Structure 1
Amino acid sequence: MPIRKTLAFLLLAGLAPAAHAANWIAIQGTEPADAKPVKLFGFIQGTYEQSFGDPVTGLTSSNLAPHNGHQAIFNTFGGDESTSTFNIRRARLGVRGALEDTKINYFLMAEFGNNAITRVDSVALTDASVTFNYLPGARLRAGRFKMPTMDEALEGNPFAADFINFSAIAAQLVQENRVQAGATPAENAFIGGNSAFRDVGVQVFDWFRQGQMEYTYALAVSNGTPSIGTDDNDDKDVTGRLQASYVFQGPLYGAHRQELSAFVWRGEGKRDYQSDSYRRLRQGVGIHYNRAPWRVRGEYVHAAGMIDAGINPAFQGGTPNVAPTGKAKGWYVQTSYTLTPNWELNLRYDTLNRQYDNAAQERVFKTWTVGGQYLFNPKARLMVNYEFRDLEAPQGNADARRIADAMADRMLAQAVVTF
């Protein structure tokens, strides 16, 4: 425990850039008036991760009931051999630009890093979309792109994310991992890579300014399949988001404008699982305030159906489980303070109540993340986070409680370079 407290103190004592806020739907879907026909871009995120805690012993496949596990509870890499690792978490290369006097925009990007997106293929296409800006008030985007959901999912990760890991709410409820049901839960398997908050479909969207007020809407119809490919059923997902912002200062096409925004979003569709079709609903509401030197954001998310119920056993490489009719809810609040143009401090609390409708399988995740960042220049920064993690199984069996008690804290460091 003294080591953990020391790490947290060091983070708060000195370990990051100007405030991050933006209209991400506009930035990622369109190009500014002076955009070039071809612009290459990309980023690399190299990480180091260390977990603290001892794996639970004496558990077997027979007494590890389905849904007892949760991905990386013990934070071991490659079974139980290591509790620390270096990794190229993300390495993406893309091209974007504008044609026909910016009436047509395009966005193309691929992932080369080692993460859940590339769990099947070593290289995966993350984005491939075209936007048509011909109809006033109704821009049309088609292809694969981020769905208009929670703020954490929409923001440009390499230069705007304040934390190395997503909150449990974003990672478990909004980011999707499709699972193929086996004859038994032990034979379940992932279908393709992680959704990375994206889907293939069409979206109509736009934004409107009235003085310092800005109103944004987006409505998408998509396949409901995490990876690139055609739809696997006749049901389509419908996802929408509304946002109202009071802009203190800053341009539209910028990730550092100062604003006060409130937003609401909802996405619903169906998923095939175990020879049946189940409703998948995700919805949320939130607010963020950004005015130097402070930045504060909070969001509440509710989920019903196709709940990610963790992996079994609770190590990387375990078998995935799904609660097809389960429910979950969670919220987070985070704040950041800019000390200087180069240094920033970050603090987040997030809590997720997973399967609260099933007493035996209910799991409550609580995480405090203390972090800091150092900005070398606008294109390079160093991030350090320490996560105080807690897991509860209020009415779980003895093994479930033992696993919950063994939830490991984590320390992470990440170097980010964009180009």
Structure 2
Amino acid sequence: MQEVQVKRAGRVLAGLVLALLLGVSPAAAVNWLMLQGAEPADADWLRLGGFVQLEYHNAGGGQLPAGPFAGQPLAAGQVGPLQRSSVATELRKLQLAARGRLHPSLNYSLKTISGDNGASRIDGGNRLRLIEASLTWRLPLGPYLRLGLFKPPGAEEISGFSPPNQYVNLTNGANLLLQERFFREDGSDPQFANEPGICGCCRDLGLLLFDAQRLADWEWSYGAALTQGYGLRLNDPNDHPDLYLYLALERLWGERKGMQRLGWKLFGWWQEGRRDLTDGLTGRTQDYRRCRFGGGTALQTDRLRLVAEIIKAKGMIEFGTDGSALAGSRSNDGRWVASYNVLPRDQALAWSLDAGWRLWRGLWLDGRYDRLDLATEITGERELRTWTAGLSWRMPSGLQLKCNYEWREGRAPHQPRQSAVNQILAELPNRLSCQLLYLF
């Protein structure tokens, strides 16, 4: 039944692709620091904009083949963030924004979001949430100082995600290691589902010092931020700020600007902070180190896009749910409840390769491979691998269409092949995702 639905949706969306018209190229070699934090000298005091993002997902469904929750729905086969169905058509995001220049050396940015996403509807409600509110001041000596709620510098995939990212879904590494979700406990309480609150949305409250300098055809940029470390929660339960560091060097080609720049970029970044977490069995709360760092390279020509990126994580590793069941599900023997688990002292490593080829005008053929080695310090380590193939179409009118198909697989390398966990990982379903986005 699921395969029939996937094939039917694929035929419909292929027709939509052929129906769309002209397009522009995607972004890969963009200076996100300057694009998101600064304004050109001739900018107006008020520019309104935003986007509407409609999505179709078929996560594949399926039931758990083994373990204490055998026969119940497989969490990976449900559409997030609420995981109530394996197939969904939804308004994923509605973003409203205002930005502009208040003074030759002062600009601002405001953004709100609503829809079926981890920021505005994680608890089953539907609200308008502020995700960006910042002021940027050009200091007398040259650098920029940004204050407020903003997206700190970091991984290339996170910096440019939705829009203008060319894929519908994040890689496993970006989703589980960088898109931070805040949990009350570690998941050891057998009667508590430990569901997350609002996600960090890769944003934080604090200050950012940044700048970019160009010499001939080369440009280098840097950023250093101090933030509270708790994303959109806007409150910090401990006294440990997060530190962000970022450095990039880029060889530019031609005179294109903004998201249409052509070039080759090398970049590296670091994030360091601490998080509070309660032991579900003892009730003791302790703060733990949360460190993320990585780097990579991005190449963008008129017809070709190549991006390679690596992410290393130390501490506060999100490890999924008990038995890969839906959080809150009761085991078949009725003795315990499936909960989200967090490993406060473990590590993880993720990397990805992305390639795109312009077929015609704004129509791009996209391919990506990503791998995540999760919880590498224990025998329960997971290896998650995903191949993604897709088409993306970007038009000058502001319409964008993306269609992705993901082949998902996994294994627990230190567990027997016939163990429950390996039987479950062998049943990971493939996923079809499509997105229609209108920028205004």
Pair in the same fold by TM > 0.5: yes
Question: Is 1:26 aligned to 2:26, yes or no?
Answer: no
Match for 2:173 among 155, 169, 175? 169
The one-letter code sitting in structure 2 at the alignment partner of 1:343 is L
Q: Return closer, same or farther for 1:70/1:18 CA change in 2, 3 Å cut-off.
A: farther
CA contact (8 A) 2:65 2:423 kept: no
1:414 aligns with 2:435: yes
Match of 2:411 among 385, 388, 392: 392
TM-score, length-normalised on structure 1?
0.90
1:80 Cα offset (Å): 8.4
**Post-superposition offset of 1:149:** 0.9
2:119/2:129 contact within 8 Å kept: yes
Q: Kindly indicate whether structure 1 or structure 2 has the higher relative contact order, using CA contacts under 8 Å at least 6 residues apart.
A: 1
The offset of 1:217, in angstroms, is 0.2
Distance 2:24 2:368 in 1: 17
Gaps of at least 5 residues in structure 1 are none
TM-score using structure 2 length: 0.86
Contact kept, 8 Å, 1:177 with 1:190, in 2: the verdict is no
- Check conservation: 2:309, 2:352, Cα contact below 8 A: yes
Residues 143-200 of structure 1: per-residue CA shift (max 9 Å, x gap): 1111111001111522x20100011111111110010017715425345311111111
Candidates 318, 331, 341, aligned match of 2:361: 341
Structure-2 separation of matches of 1:23 and 1:78: 30
Higher mean Cα deviation, 212-221 or 243-252? 243-252
Cα displacement string for residues 340-362 of structure 1 (whole angstroms, at most 9, x for unaligned residues): 11311000000000001101x21
> 1:117 is paired with a residue of what secondary structure?
coil
Gap regions ≥5 residues in structure 2: 279-284, 329-338
The structure with the largest strand share of the pair is 1
Give the deviation of 1:76 after TM superposition. Answer: 5.3
Give matches, 1:238-387, under 5 Å.
Answer: 238-252=243-257, 254-274=258-278, 275-312=285-322, 314=324, 317-318=327-328, 319-359=339-379, 361-387=380-406
Which residue matches 1:83?
86
- Asked if 2 retains the 8 angstrom alpha-carbon contact of 1:265 and 1:283, the reply is yes
After TM superposition, the structure 1 = structure 2 runs for residues 112-123 of structure 1, keeping only pairs within 5 Å, are 112-118=114-120, 119-120=122-123, 122-123=127-128
Tell whether the 8 Å contact from 2:64 to 2:73 is kept in structure 1 after alignment: no
Per-residue Cα deviation, 1:214-240 (whole angstroms, up to 9, x for no partner)? 010000001110224221101111011
Separation in 2, partners of 1:70, 1:143: 41
Q: What are the superposed Cα offsets for residues 236-279 of structure 1, whole Å, 9 maximum, x if unpaired?
A: 11011000001102344x10110100000000111111211110
Partners in 1 of 2:46 and 2:233 — Cα distance?
23
CA distance in 2, matches of 1:260, 1:377: 24
Could you tell me how far apart the structure 2 residues matched to 1:31 and 1:226 are? 24
- Map 1:46-195; keep pairs closer than 5 Å: 46-52=54-60, 54-57=62-65, 59-60=67-68, 72-75=75-78, 82-101=85-104, 103-118=105-120, 119-120=122-123, 122-155=127-160, 157-158=162-163, 160-181=164-185, 184=189, 186-190=191-195, 192-195=197-200
Aligned-partner residue type, residue 405 of structure 1: A
State the secondary structure of the residue aligned to 2:349: strand
- Following the alignment from structure 2 to structure 1, what is the Cα–Cα distance between the partners of residues 221 and 261? 16
Percentage of matched positions with identical amino acids:
29
**Number of residue pairs aligned between Structure 1 and Structure 2:** 407
Take 2:78 and 2:218, find their aligned partners in 1: how far apart are those partners? 44
Q: Residue 436 of structure 2 aligns to which amino acid in structure 1? A: A
Structure 1 contact 79–315 (Cα < 8 Å) conserved: no
Aligned residues of 2:26 and 2:165 also touching (Cα < 8 A): no
Q: CA RMSD in A?
A: 2.8
